[in-house]
Amino acid sequence: MLKNKLNLYFDAKNLSGFTFKIFQKLVSSQFTSLLKNKIERMSDKATLKIDGQEYEFPLITGTENETAIDVKALRAATGGVITIDPGYKNTGSCKSAITFLNGEEGILRYRGYSIEELADKASFLEVAYLLIFGELPTAEQLEKFHTDIKSKSIVDEDVKKIIDAFPKNAHPMGILSSLTSALVAFNPSSVNVDSDEEMYNAIVKIMGKFPVLVAWAMRKIEGMPLNYGSKSLGYVENVMKMMFEKPNEDYEINPIVKSALDKLLILHADHEQNCSTSTVRIVGSSHAGLFASLSAGISALWGPLHGGANQAVLEMLEAIKEDGGDTKKYMAKAKDKNDPFRLMGFGHRVYKNFDPRARIIKKAADEVLNDLGIDDPILDIAKGLEQEALNDPYFVERKLYPNVDFYSGIIYRAMGIPVEMFTVMFALGRLPGWIAQWREMRLGKEPIGRPRQIYTGENLRAFKTINNR
Ligand code: CMC
């Protein structure tokens, strides 16, 4: 009986159709909001039946009434049964109070504030503070945060030797990930998370040094001298100066570019348990230091299915333009299951509706290009693709909408940022989110992340000597 049980697992991919009986009254979203926090369930437990035996597991409800089955006790209770869910499509890895995302309704909030309001009214540094510490800062708190960041922004000169060793055509995401990891060698690698002071110092250090690394990664590929900005500037203005200042002329901040960059960084600042954030949390769960965890997150972000999509989108739009602007041809390729081509910047694991960030960025792209007097034909190609996709049954049925990466590259390009730097800009925006999630994970004393597996390889077999193979 026990052996039989050990070979069993339930497949959470088909959670709703499986023998799970959740004795929960399913309420519509309208009803849910009416009864906010007063949901009455028929039961707060889920029952799982395996080989005729029933097991009960508690249901957990979040502040926005999402429900999870708490399977912490599953393996012990059943004598070895686990859940399996490739890509974690149904699996919550943690409880988190940082970001709320409702993909069906296209809602995104940081610490309870809507992304629309934050993008409109807040600065990136305010949002960083909010994400990391939980509340919007007062003017004094913000001033102190910025002063502390600036005081820690000097990067050891020896880091420049590491940059020197990279070939000129190295991808800046590779440079950024390596340099962030290298910072560990120049700074204590672990933080005593029980010390507020050590935690705070680690946070302001990386908030100060990371933009320098971002700027240096760009200046390396552009063959420009590695400089520092100015302590007298705001956080985002200083990033711009460090990135764009030419060695032979004074740099003047363009307020249109500054405001667009602030907005873009805010929109990218956190997105709950996405691939790179989960990476940061899982690496950090081994008690690797903050910088090492961030470096791993940067590598995860680099992939074209995640943050690397912004570079891929621009390259795709350029290719369509070069190919005569025939959007229908590329729509057909995206739908052809024998063609690996995907419409980059479309679709999302969680959003089954408009990505609220994409709406804001599309509007900003129009404004920025207009204000800067730029007429970029790829903006028209992008809008054409969007229009076709929104009316195409393939995209409609699969609920594929433009995501955050679809229009962002067009703005970055208008700002004069090279295409290989787009994902680096995403990383700069995501930094406070990664820090906030790492901090929450460490303060929450979460156990080391270590999934299980269902082994499908050979059973025990005898070793064959080399002549008998
Ligand atoms: N073009 C064409 N078909 C698509 C696309 C696309 N961009 N995205 C999904 N599909 C199809 C997919 O082929 C599948 O079809 P079927 O049901 O017939 O097999 C269906 O839609 C579901 O897709 P999936 O790959 O199972 O969904 P997923 O949740 O595993 O993947 C995704 C989500 C974002 C990786 C995917 O939509 C994608 O590859 N998009 C393009 C890359 C992109 O823009 N990534 C940025 C994501 S947002 C920013 C970020 O997270 O960093």
Q: Which of 83, 81, 118 is nearest to 99 (CA)?
A: 118
Q: Atom 36, ligand 1: which residue's CA is nearest?
A: 347
Of ligand 1's listed atoms, the one at least distance from the Cα of 313 is 44
Q: Which two tokens stand for residue 391?
A: 């009316």
14: number of Cβ within 10 Å: 10
Q: Is the pTM of this model over 0.75?
A: yes
Cα(132) to ligand 1 centroid in Å equals 30
Q: Which whole-number Å values give the CA distances from 113 to 122, 130, 136, in the listed order?
A: 11, 10, 10
In whole angstroms, give the CA distance from residue 178 to residue 167: 13
- 348 catalytic per annotation: yes
In this structure, the strands spanning 83-84 and 10-11 are parallel
User: Could you tell which of 299, 400, 426 is best to mutate to test the pocket of ligand 1, judged by most ligand atoms within 8 Å of the CB?
Assistant: 400
CB 411 within 8 A of CB 364: yes
Q: Who lines ligand 1 at CB under 6 A?
A: 87, 274, 305-307, 309, 334, 342-349, 398, 400, 403-405
Cα(399) to ligand 1 centroid in Å equals 10
In whole angstroms, give the CA distance from residue 333 to residue 122: 41
Q: Atom 44, ligand 1: which residue's CA is nearest?
A: 345
Q: How many CA atoms lie within 13 A of 249 on its CB side?
A: 6
Per-residue pLDDT of the chain (469 residues; tens, 9 = 90+): 334 444 344 455 555 444 344 433 333 333 344 334 344 566 799 999 999 999 999 999 999 999 999 999 999 999 999 999 999 999 999 999 999 999 999 999 999 999 999 999 999 999 999 999 999 999 999 999 999 999 999 999 999 999 999 998 999 999 999 999 999 988 866 789 999 999 999 999 999 999 999 999 999 999 999 999 999 999 999 999 999 999 999 999 999 999 999 999 999 999 999 999 999 999 999 999 999 999 999 999 999 999 999 999 999 999 999 999 999 999 999 999 999 999 999 999 999 998 999 999 999 999 999 999 999 999 999 999 999 999 999 999 999 999 999 999 999 999 999 999 999 999 999 999 999 999 999 999 999 999 999 999 999 999 999 999 9
Q: Which two tokens stand for residue 55?
A: 């097991």
Q: What is the largest CA-CA distance in the chain?
A: 79
- 146 catalytic per annotation: no
Q: Atom 30, ligand 1: which residue's CA is nearest?
A: 349
In whole angstroms, give the CA distance from residue 45 to residue 22: 7
In whole angstroms, give the CA distance from residue 309 to residue 303: 7
Q: Atom 16, ligand 1: which residue's CA is nearest?
A: 398
Of ligand 1's listed atoms, the one at least distance from the Cα of 350 is 29
CB 347 within 8 A of CB 404: no
Q: Atom 52, ligand 1: which residue's CA is nearest?
A: 306
Q: Which residues of 167-187 are buried (b: 16+ CB within 10 A; e: fewer)?
A: eeebbbbebbbbbbbbbbeeb
Cα(92) to ligand 1 centroid in Å equals 20
110 strand-pairing partners: 99, 113
